[in-house]
């Protein structure tokens, strides 16, 4: 193992000594979760691994968790279903990830503790770069023991310690849910060829949501102006940028002028 990884491991294990014993560990089966679970185990923390079944996880990930982690993982099922939420709120975006809150974070809320440990890393986003190793949020206390680890530290640790990883990493460098706002267009294409079924359902539900949103007057009783002209345009833009307002203000103004 590289010296830098060893130093990070020592630091993470020191942080872990301050985490209450009843804390649970959010576990998705991804590489960061595998790394976190091992660091917690080495630090002697008895926290349970909690996996929240989102319903749109890739099947090889679900099989990997069952095979490699078995009884170490507590499975929880969120009361709300991904597609029901999708029909209500539309697709999650990189700015409004209702999916994490409703499906993933739900897991450790139901296991009777307010202390939660997550394998989040600063490097993953600008937003996460501002996190502290322990934070109080919405009545919970969150701990991020591998916050300072970079991607290569995670792989260095996994490889040098011979930890198991899901076979999906042989094909793709980022594994999330089958349809995720963080996937790049190339990753979406890869997932679409592997799992066409969820994509068909997703597109049908999003189309219905888009048309319903367009046809429902706003609070003032006025017709809504949609950024895109059709649900197909909207979905094409989402798969590029996972953002609703991909078109600029000029397009909006033109839509308004033309009464769209």
Per CB under 6 A, residues contacting ligand SF4 are 54, 92, 97, 99-100, 103-104, 176-177, 180-182
| Distance in Å, CB of 56 to ligand SF4, minimum | 7
| Distance in Å, CB of 105 to ligand SF4, minimum | 9
| Distance in Å, CB of 131 to ligand SF4, minimum | 16
| Distance in Å, CB of 251 to ligand SF4, minimum | 27
| Distance in Å, CB of 96 to ligand SF4, minimum | 10
| Distance in Å, CB of 50 to ligand SF4, minimum | 14
Give the span between the Cα atoms of 69 and 61, in whole angstroms: 11
CB proximity list for 33: less than 8 A, separation 6 or greater: 26, 27, 49, 119
Nearer to ligand SF4, 74 or 187 (CB): 187
Closest by Cα among 43, 33, 44, 105 to 69: 33
Nearer to ligand SF4, 98 or 260 (CB): 98
Nearer to ligand SF4, 8 or 103 (CB): 103
End-to-end Cα spacing for the chain: 59
Nearer to ligand SF4, 104 or 188 (CB): 104
CB proximity list for 150: less than 8 A, separation 6 or greater: 121, 123
Nearer to ligand SF4, 101 or 161 (CB): 101
Nearer to ligand SF4, 43 or 140 (CB): 140
């Amino acid at each position: 193992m590289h010296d830098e990884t060893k130093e990070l491991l020592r630091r993470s294990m020191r942080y872990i000594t301050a985490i209450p014993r009843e804390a649970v560990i959010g576990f998705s089966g991804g590489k960061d979760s595998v790394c976190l679970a091992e660091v917690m185990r080495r630090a002697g923390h008895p926290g349970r691994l909690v996996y929240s079944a989102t319903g749109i996880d890739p099947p090889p990930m679900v099989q990997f968790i069952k095979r490699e982690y078995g009884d170490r993982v507590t499975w929880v099922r969120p009361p709300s279903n991904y597609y029901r939420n999708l029909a209500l709120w539309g697709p999650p975006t990189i700015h409004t990830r209702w999916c994490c809150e409703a499906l993933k974070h739900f897991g450790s809320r139901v296991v009777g503790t307010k202390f939660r440990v997550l394998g989040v890393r600063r490097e993953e986003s600008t937003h996460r770069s501002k996190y502290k190793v322990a934070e109080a949020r919405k009545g919970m206390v969150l701990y991020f023991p591998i916050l300072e680890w970079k991607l290569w530290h995670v792989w260095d640790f996994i490889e040098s310690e011979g930890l198991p990883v899901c076979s999906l990493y042989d094909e793709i460098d980022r594994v999330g849910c089958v349809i995720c706002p963080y996937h790049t267009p190339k990753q979406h294409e890869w997932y679409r060829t592997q799992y066409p079924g969820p994509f068909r359902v997703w597109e049908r539900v999003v189309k219905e949501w888009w048309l319903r949103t367009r046809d429902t007057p706003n609070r003032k009783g006025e017709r809504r102006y949609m950024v895109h002209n059709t649900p197909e345009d909207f979905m094409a833009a989402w798969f590029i940028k996972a953002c609703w307002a991909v078109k600029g203000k000029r397009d909006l103004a033109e839509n308004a002028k033309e009464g769209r």
